[in-house]
Amino acid sequence: MSGESGKALTREQWGSRVGFILAAAGSAIGLGNVWRFPYLVGEYGGAIFVLIYLLINVFIGLPVMLAEFSIGRAAQKSPVGAFRALSVSPLWSVIGWLGTLTGGFLVLSYYNVIGGWTIRYMIESLIGLMDLAAEGKSEEFFLSFISVRHQVVAYQALFLASTMFFVASGIGKGIERACKFMMPALFIILLILIFRSLTLPGAGAGLEFYLMPDLSKLNGKSVLAALGQSFFSLSLGLGIMLTYGSYLGREERIPSAATWTAVLDTLIALLSGFAIFPAVFAMGLKPGAGPGLTFITLPAVFAEMPMGMFFSFLFFLFLFFAAVTSSMSLMEVSTTFAIEKFKLKRSDAVWLMGVIIFLLGGYSAISLAGDPKVAGKDFLDAVDYFCNNICLPLGSFLVCLFVGWFWLEPALKELSNDGTLEARWWLKVWIWCVRVVAPIAILIIFLNETGLLTTLDAWLSR
C-alpha cells in the first residue's frame, strides 16, 4: 500500500450516514431552493418549468451526484487531486480547476449578496416589514432596499463575515449539526406558509400556474435555465459533492445517500413554490418579478398570518442558516485552494479569500441599483447566468464523460460497494444516463441556447 492510500484510510469520516446526508443536504438546500427556484418558475412559464426541472433532476442531476460521490470516495481527495489520482491524463483535473474558480469565487461572490438579503429581512421582520406588507408595499420595500447600494453592500459584508467566521473558527461542523434542527424547522414554517397561501381568496390561479403545464411556454431558454438550476440546487458540477464523497465511509451506500440528498433538496424547492405562487396570484403580484419574487411575496403572506412577525423572523433566520451552510461549502473550496497553493494558515486563507470575494461580490451588490451591466444584464444576473448556464453544465458534462467513458468499472464498484450491494436495474439506468443521456442532453441544450446549434445546422446543410 502506498503512503498516500495509507493516509487516505485515516481521512476523517462522517460520524454516521445521517451526518453525511445532513452535510450534503446542508450544501444543497439553500437560497437555490427558496429564492432561485421560485423566481425561475415564475419567469419561465410555471408548471412546464417545474416538470422539466424534475425530469432533469432525476435523469441528469442525480446521476451526476452519484458520479461525484463515487469519484470522491474512491480518490479520497479534493477535486484537482482526485482527477490527477484517478486518471492517466492530467487534463481531467481541469474539472477541479473549473470548480474551484466558479464555485469558490464566482458563485460565492453573489451568493453572499442574496444571503445578505436574508439578514436584512430577518431584522426588518421585527421592525416595520409586516406593517408595510399589510399595506401592500412589500414590492416597494424590496425595490427601495436594493437601490440603496451601501445597504446592500453592508448586508453582503455581514453575510460573508458570518460565513468566514464559521469556516475559519472550525465551528462550521457545529453549524451543520445545528441545522439538524433548523432544516426541519424551516420545513415546518414552509408548511404553515403553504396553508396560509392556499387559503387566500384567489389562490387557485396560482396553483394552476404552478401545476398545469402550458406547453407553449416551452423553449430552449427555459430548458437551459432548468438544467442550470438543477446543478445549482444540488451543488453539482463544481466538485463540491465530490469533496463530500471523499469523507464517506466505505461501508456507506452511495445510492441511498445521493437519493436522500436529492429528494430533500427537491422537496424544499417544491414546497417553496407552493408557498409562493398561490399568494402571488391571490395578491395580484407578478410571477415574473424576477430575483425579488420570494422576498416580495412571503412578507405579504406573513402579514396575513397571526403572529406573522414572529414567523417571518424565524423563517428568514432559518433561511439564513440554510444559506450559510451552502456558502460554507463554497468558501471551503477557495480556502482549501489558498491553503494548498500559498501555504497559508487557515485563518489567513479565509481572510485573503474573503477580501477577494467581497470585492467581486461588491459589483453584484451595487449592480442591483442599475449598473454595472454586462450584456444588458445586471452584473449579478450576468455572473449568475455565466456560472449556472455555462460553467456548472460544463463541469457536469465533463464529470459524465470521465465517469461514463473512462472510469466506469471503478465507478460501478463504488456504487455497488464492491459488488456487495445487489446490482439492480438502477445501475443499468445510471450507466445509460451518465454515458449517453446526460452528456448528450447537456450538449444539445447548451448548443441550442447559445445559438450554436442553428449555426451548426446551417453549416451542415450547406
Interface contacts to ligand PFF, rule CB under 6 A: 27-28, 30-33, 103, 107, 232-233, 235, 238, 240, 326, 329-330
Contact 240/407 with Cβ under 8 angstroms? no
Q: Give min distance, CB of 372 to ligand PFF, in A.
A: 24
> Which residue has the CB atom at the shortest distance from ligand PFF?
32
In the block, cell 406588507 appears at 133
Q: Give min distance, CB of 38 to ligand PFF, in A.
A: 12
**Cβ distance to ligand PFF smaller for residue 186 or 238:** 238
**Cβ distance to ligand PFF smaller for residue 179 or 203:** 179
Please give, one letter per residue, the 3-state secondary structure of 176-217.
HHHHHHHHHHHHHHHHHHHHHHHCCCCCHHHHHHHHCCCHHH
CA–CA separation, 116 and 329 (whole Å)? 17
Residues 6+ apart with CB under 8 A from 288: 42, 43
Comparing C-alpha atoms, which of 25, 34, 43 is closest to residue 274? 34
Q: Give min distance, CB of 101 to ligand PFF, in A.
A: 12
Comparing C-alpha atoms, which of 90, 64, 67 is closest to residue 408? 67
Q: 15-43 burial, b if ≥16 CB within 10 A, otherwise e?
A: eebebbbbbbbbbbbbbbbbbbbbbbbbb
Contact 76/11 with Cβ under 8 angstroms? yes
DSSP letter for 133, please: H
CA–CA separation, 404 and 300 (whole Å)? 48
Contact 73/253 with Cβ under 8 angstroms? no
**Cβ distance to ligand PFF smaller for residue 28 or 168:** 28
Question: What spatial distance separates the first Cα and last Cα of the chain, rounded to whole Å?
Answer: 58
Q: Give min distance, CB of 184 to ligand PFF, in A.
A: 18
**Cβ distance to ligand PFF smaller for residue 132 or 392:** 392
Q: Give min distance, CB of 240 to ligand PFF, in A.
A: 4
Residues 6+ apart with CB under 8 A from 18: none
**Cβ distance to ligand PFF smaller for residue 283 or 329:** 329
- Find the Cα–Cα–Cα–Cα dihedral 451, 456, 459, 461, rounded to 10°: -110
Q: Give min distance, CB of 436 to ligand PFF, in A.
A: 25
Q: Give min distance, CB of 120 to ligand PFF, in A.
A: 18
**Cβ distance to ligand PFF smaller for residue 93 or 233:** 233
Q: Give min distance, CB of 352 to ligand PFF, in A.
A: 20
In the block, cell 436594493 appears at 146
**Cβ distance to ligand PFF smaller for residue 239 or 308:** 239
**Cβ distance to ligand PFF smaller for residue 282 or 322:** 322
Residue 281 cell numbers, joined: 396570484
**Cβ distance to ligand PFF smaller for residue 240 or 350:** 240
**Cβ distance to ligand PFF smaller for residue 80 or 303:** 80
In the block, cell 472550525 appears at 170
Return the amino acid letter for 367: S
CA–CA separation, 376 and 244 (whole Å)? 37
Q: Give min distance, CB of 208 to ligand PFF, in A.
A: 26
Q: Give min distance, CB of 300 to ligand PFF, in A.
A: 23
CA–CA separation, 292 and 145 (whole Å)? 11
Contact 143/315 with Cβ under 8 angstroms? no
